[in-house]
Chain A
Amino acid sequence: MFGEKALELIKELKRCGDGLLPSFNEETVRQVLEEMKSLFEENHKDVTASSEGEQGLFPGVQLRHAALERNKRILLTYLNERATSIAELRWQMGTVLPPDIRSRLAEHELSWLQKYNKSLTAYMRAVGADITHNLKPPKSLLIEVRCTTEHGSIELTSGRTLHLSRGTHHFLERSECEPLIARGIVEEI
């Protein structure tokens, strides 16, 4: 039956569930596009034949058209669903994605993310505030964190360098911790 390849894409997204982005399935997307192309060509052939006087081809044309529409819907959903999760990543992790997540995005998704970044930054500049910070209402300026990985040194906005190694406790400014916590490098205690 038509449209089965496309459904695989949707099933893949569903299987992965919330919060995990699978690699862009270029191979299947290509196969779906090929199926659509051949459907379109056959329809084109049949419509030309009909206009030359052949009878009884229209039901077939309609069936193929339904399959075309279905494939289109599924592809659009696939792209939309991924774009939404990518946008969410931007809010959770800031402008730089960890390399293993980044490698799961396709070329066009990366350029989309770049554009999304650009408009978000432009907006934040216009309102004069970083709206991706403090998504939860802050209760204090400084918070205590414990480091969970061997991360190495980072430079703080104050100019001080801080060495993050597993199991160490730090008392840091909240705004500085937020990205570190989002990436799972430190955890709040």
Chain B
Amino acid sequence: MSQYYKNSRLNDDYLSIDSIMASQERVTSTFRTKIRNLGFLDIGSDARDLEVGVKMELPYWLAAFLCNKRRQIVEVETPKQYRAGQREILNADPVVVDLHKLGPHFYKFGSLFLSFQIPESLNISRCLLETFQGRFKHIMDISQNCLNEDLSKVKSKLDECEKVIFALGQDSLKDFQNWQTRESAKLKASKMIIQQRKRKRNELD
């Protein structure tokens, strides 16, 4: 039951932890309107107000609220990982790029960023799609063919969303093996109990 629920986290929704984490990524924004009495948000200066032209790293949720069709309080810059230079690298060979380093929520933040409707939007969305397509086969391949091996090196290059896909692949492989050895029919202790035991054992050591 829980697994299906957790998988729905791949989609964006209001109550999703990953979506909240992705919308916390920073966007460089420049203020186009003066904001009174909130100067303390800009840690570098002592001014009382946020003046026109002040540049700040705002979290996505705030930037998106202040920059849309109706309000133009700030102006945003495209984050480095989605600019033309990086896009070319991703185009050349998506598989070798360390997406975790480019922001653990590469795809999610990317698609959120598209809501700003900047001229580059079309290129960015195409790049996101092609990167995903290019990497998907590789991810599926390793998740289906490696069991009982140290995969931390491979996994450390994956974006959060890819990690979910990878884990799903591994789980289905394990489920299949368990089914073959008739393990799946056995009753198991609750996950929380198992976790707790491990923790207690660690404390004892």
Contacts and interface: CB of A to CB of B under 8 A. Distances in A.
Interface string B189-205: 11111111100000000
Interface of B: 1-2, 5-6, 14-17, 20-21, 24, 33-38, 41, 58-59, 61-62, 65-66, 71, 73, 184-197
A19 B195 contact: yes
B192 A89 contact: yes
A80 B62 CA distance: 23
Contact of A59 (B20, B35, B186): B35
Interface size class of A (residues with CB under 8 A): 35 or more
A68 to B, nearest CB: 11
Given A10-B20, A88-B1, A136 B187 contact: yes
Interface of A: 1-3, 7, 10-11, 13-14, 18-21, 42, 46, 56-57, 59-60, 62-67, 69-70, 73-74, 76-77, 80-81, 84, 88-89, 91-93, 98, 100-101, 136-137, 139, 143, 177-178, 181-184, 187-188
B1 A91 contact: yes
B34 A59 contact: yes
Contact of B17 (A77, A143, A184): A77
B147 to A, nearest CB: 20
Nearest to A98: B193
Contact of A70 (B17, B33, B62): B62
Which one of A14, A19, A137 has the highest number of Cβ atoms from chain B below 10 Å of its Cβ? A19
Contacts of B193: 93, 98, 182-184
Given A3-B61, A18-B6, A77-B16, A89 B190 contact: yes
Contacts of A60: 35-38
Given A7-B24, A184-B197, A62 B65 contact: yes
Given A20-B195, A181-B188, A81 B38 contact: no
Contacts, number: 120
A64 B66 CA distance: 11
A95 to B, nearest CB: 14
Nearest to A55: B36
B65 A20 contact: no
A188 B187 contact: yes
Nearest to B184: A136
A3 to B, nearest CB: 7
B4 to A, nearest CB: 12
Contacts of A56: 34, 36
Nearest to B34: A56
Nearest to B187: A181
A48 B187 CA distance: 63
A120 B59 CA distance: 42
B108 to A, nearest CB: 14
A20 B192 contact: yes
B17 A13 contact: yes
A103 to B, nearest CB: 12
A88 B2 contact: yes
A183 B189 contact: yes
Given A20-B196, A21-B192, A60-B38, A67 B187 contact: no
Contact of A63 (B6, B17, B66, B197): B66
Contact of B21 (A14, A93, A136, A137): A14
21 contacts: A2-B62, A3-B59, A19-B194, A20-B192, A46-B37, A56-B36, A59-B35, A59-B66, A62-B71, A63-B62, A69-B65, A70-B61, A70-B62, A74-B20, A76-B14, A89-B192, A91-B1, A139-B185, A184-B194, A187-B189, A188-B186
